Amino acid sequence: SLLLSYGLLNTKNTIIRPDKVQIVTVGRNYFQKKMNILDLKIKQASTSQVDGDTLKNNAIEIPGCNESEKEMLLKFLLEKVPERGVALRPNIRKIIMETLMFVIIPVGVYFAFAYNFPELVEYAFIIPLYLLFAGLLIFMGFRNARLFVNDEFVIKQSGAWDVDRDFIAPHKIQSLSLKQFFWHRSSNIGIVTLHTAGGPISFGLADYSRLKELVNYWLCQVESGNRNWM
């Protein structure tokens, strides 16, 4: 077990057991990368209950780790440092959908209000800045989005400025869901969600046929394996 102590005035102690760890997240931004530090977040299964039968998940964050500390913690929590494996990238339509949601619709709403309230026109100078900022975040988020799969781990990479990598061992998966909206059928894209006791992790929009293959592969691993999720 790992004993974690934190707090400024009131020190709290938390015991972390590797068998209870469901998801380990390693994240860093541009400045943290230059300083060679990162943040590590641990999600455990908990027996606490909220709203009746809803399972409460504990997220423990360890900020300011260096590379050697990260590798030591990953070896302790996951038994080894995960390797990336085969990479799955999102479809280009992910950019199109996010551009529609975060660029076209907000700008359209602004111009609709500006048409009825002319005093809002004086704030139109913000639009080019917003377009540049939103477009940059959408592009960076798409460029960083990856799903890495090997025999021992599933790694989801996401984020625009803060790039996070979520590590899951297949035997921690409790259920899987594969979703495809009717307007995605012609493009053969969908969204996969891995449900664990530490919370769900989703990845999309990606090749639907490839996602189905991965879901069958993970189900086979879970059913044929002899390791429990906790």
Higher pLDDT, 224 or 11: 224
Model confidence over 79-131: pLDDT tens digits?
999 999 999 999 999 999 999 999 999 999 999 999 999 999 999 999 999 99
Q: What pLDDT score does 34 carry?
A: 93
Report d(CA 122, CA 214) in Å as an integer.
51
Instruction: With cut-offs at 50, 70 and 90, classify the pLDDT of residue 22.
Output: very high
- Lowest average pLDDT, out of 131-140, 200-209, 218-227, goes to 218-227
Query: Can you give the pTM of this predicted structure?
Result: 0.88
Say if residue 50's pLDDT is above 50. no
Q: What pLDDT score does 47 carry?
A: 52
As a whole number, mean pLDDT of residues 17-26 equals 92
